[in-house]
Chain A
Amino acid sequence: MKNDPHLGLSDIEWQLLNSFQHNFPMVAEPYKEIGSKLGISEDEVLFLLQKLNECGMVSRVGCVLRNGTLGVSTLAAVEVAPEEIDRVAELINSFSEVNHNYERENAVNLWFVVTACSKERLMEILTEIENKSGSPVLMLPMEQNFHINLGFPIH
């Protein structure tokens, strides 16, 4: 795996991003262990992860859970007129239960994921978005996962 020169990352930063996406050391001092694998100090690992987190390349160091483990979630979408996109996107974003919200190239153009503490709360949010946006919400819950998540290998 080669470092991408456009990103301006050191080889160590590149390895930090790539090599610990699904095998985080489950020991008392995990960052020290990562450091020893990369030949740098624990302080350096913590500094670099903090930096990569602040610049947005690292979302977090933590767990990715199986869908439905905590709370109830669904993918949803609405079809809105181009001049309405900003308003409706802002409406959707206003719910803390919304964790993804993208514009996509399609007549159905706003796509978002809602994860709520209960089915009732989930439906309440979708109904409110439908009422305030004036567009029917398509609810597209996952039924089956066909992909094993090993992170995002950067080739």
Chain B
Amino acid sequence: MLNEKEASLLEAIQAGFPLTPRPFQDIGIAIGQSESEVIATLQNLNERGVIKRMGVVVRHRELGFKANAMVVWNVPDHLVSQKGKLIGEMDFVNLCYLRSRALPRWPYNLYCMIHGRQRSEVLDNIAKLEAHCAMGSLAKEVLFSQRRFKQHGAHYFKSKSTRTNANK
């Protein structure tokens, strides 16, 4: 859980740190906290795992990774955490989640994301993954992305200031 100070800090930086010489001081001024307080709170949230990472957030498509597959499997509940852990550890996997099924239309519960420069590279990696994690007979679908209609970091509240542009 977050206290009030932590929540207002995370809200203030949802669109990114300012690209200014003293970004934490500038954030602090906007929300009435000191620079050292801002830094200490962010470090603490990072240690607690509330912040998963801090740094440069890139867009894979703009970096030439145009083949992007979401792979989904229907894994029996008693096997899903074992399979999920194995998949999540593979170095070419970018995300791996257990999600609720939406029955009857969508029976799949284990999701992973694989990005590559070419479709063939992604398909090779999926084959490697299936062999390594013994996914063999489980029902799956591979959903390559086509058009991107929107992509930006989540923002939950209207931000007041202009930081790095999260709306592109």
Contact between A60 and B105, CB atoms less than 8 A apart: no
Chain B minimum-CB-distance residue to A151: B53
The answer for the CA separation of A71 and B121 in the assembled complex, in Å, is: 36
The answer for the CA separation of A131 and B157 in the assembled complex, in Å, is: 25
Residues of A near B20 (CB, < 8 A) are 46
The answer for the CA separation of A39 and B103 in the assembled complex, in Å, is: 55
Chain B minimum-CB-distance residue to A57: B62
- B118 CB–A CB distance under 8 Å: no
Contact between A17 and B156, CB atoms less than 8 A apart: no
- Which of B11, B21, B55, B93 is within 8 Å of A46, CB to CB? B21
- Which of B39, B45, B52, B87 is within 8 Å of A27, CB to CB? B39
- Which of A56, A65, A108, A143 is within 8 Å of B50, CB to CB? A65
Contact between A56 and B62, CB atoms less than 8 A apart: yes
Chain B minimum-CB-distance residue to A49: B19
Secondary structure class of chain A's binding surface, majority of residues: mixed
Give the Cβ gap from A92 to chain B, nearest Cβ, in Å: 7
- B120 CB–A CB distance under 8 Å: no
- Which of B51, B54, B59, B70 is within 8 Å of A57, CB to CB? B59
- A81 CB–B CB distance under 8 Å: no
Residues of B near A30 (CB, < 8 A) are 17, 23-24
Binding site for B on A (CB under 8 A): 4, 6-7, 16-17, 20-24, 26-32, 42, 46, 49-50, 53-66, 69-71, 73, 75, 77, 79, 89-90, 92-93, 96-106, 108, 111-113, 115-117, 136, 138-152, 154
